[in-house]
A = this chain, B = another copy of it.
């Protein structure tokens, strides 16, 4: 009952009157150990209640089987789906996840990146904070050739890979769809243009307008954090305009803002889609609950998470060369629902 000391491979070795080296090898089922001995070792391990000490092993083998995940926030539908996908893929390959959030704060992002490095993660998965300008804080990883995978909110870098969707094309398609429905005055509720996702969506939107000879006005481009409140504020902004000057279409860069905008607009008596067609982005569950259902872009966090981790691990195992390509683009289809259907 003296359960106070760790049970180590030495205890097993002594117990079986063999060497610790053999125990170590036997424990990982090395074929260079007699099958019979292997069995004895496994049994003894259980009998003695042995539990391997991961970081003693890591210290020696210089690999932790751990991936660092650094995201802006943990509690959004997209992100929690991405994490779920990552965990699934990681688990499948015997890797584990250490997770931190920057809360959209570069400073926290830097501190967390350093922590991940100190923990000697075998690879880093990162989606950048709202106002991260450069990625100097990732230099330690690049220097030591620890693979970094950006996803969603990325930053171009030669020695890393990005997993993204084609935000430009998706936004273009959304806008074109609204135009096809007869919208002529389309407002865009977007995010910080510093981040590729919002910049690309904005550009896709603008290009679609241009290609259809529709004028773009600066005041139709609202920048926000795309929160519930931001959706609300956008609605109030629209309602503050004289009816003749109001947009007849709204494309929000996420579903949260779109939905809360809709609710506020509807509360004020506007009809959707008749008075104003609305489209969002992400295919968040809320898009199927709001009435009318929200037109959006299918953006699977799960897929993105699985892809990011699988590629990272393949690279770690030398199966694929991470840097042979710089970017993986996942598909993200337009999902048309009633909120944007002015015609039939």
Contact = CB atoms under 8 A, between A and B. Distances in A.
A103 B76 CA distance: 19
Nearest to A86: B74
A59 B55 contact: yes
A325 to B, nearest CB: 25
Contacts of A108: 91
A96 B98 contact: yes
Which secondary structure dominates chain A's binding surface? helix
Contacts of A101: 84, 87-88
A313 B276 CA distance: 51
B98 A98 contact: yes
A52 interface: yes
A58 interface: yes
Contact of A286 (B98, B119, B289): B289
Interface stretch (A110-118, A127-135, A207-215, A333-341): A110-118
Interface string A75-110: 111011101100110010000111111010000100
Contacts of A53: 59, 118, 120
A218 interface: no
A156 interface: no
B66 A87 contact: no
Task: State the oligomeric state as a number of copies.
Answer: 2
B118 A52 contact: yes
Interface residues of A, number: 53
Nearest to A66: B98
A24 interface: no
A75 B77 contact: yes
Given A120-B54, A286-B285, A84 B91 contact: no
B83 A74 contact: yes
Nearest to A78: B75
Contact of A56 (B59, B103, B289, B302): B59
Interface string A34-57: 000000000000000101111110
A55 B58 contact: yes
A55 B119 contact: yes
A144 interface: yes
Contact of A83 (B66, B75, B285): B75
A264 to B, nearest CB: 12
Contact of A55 (B52, B55, B80, B291): B55
Interface in A8-64: 49, 51-56, 58-59, 64
Interface of A: 3, 49, 51-56, 58-59, 64, 66, 73-77, 79-81, 83-84, 87-88, 91, 96-101, 103, 108, 112, 114-115, 117-120, 140, 143-144, 228, 259, 263, 285-286, 289-291, 301-302
13 contacts: A53-B59, A54-B118, A54-B119, A59-B59, A75-B302, A87-B99, A91-B108, A96-B98, A96-B115, A228-B285, A263-B289, A289-B290, A291-B291
Given A3-B143, A55-B58, 11 more contacts: A3-B144, A66-B98, A74-B80, A75-B80, A75-B83, A76-B80, A79-B80, A87-B99, A87-B101, A98-B99, A228-B285
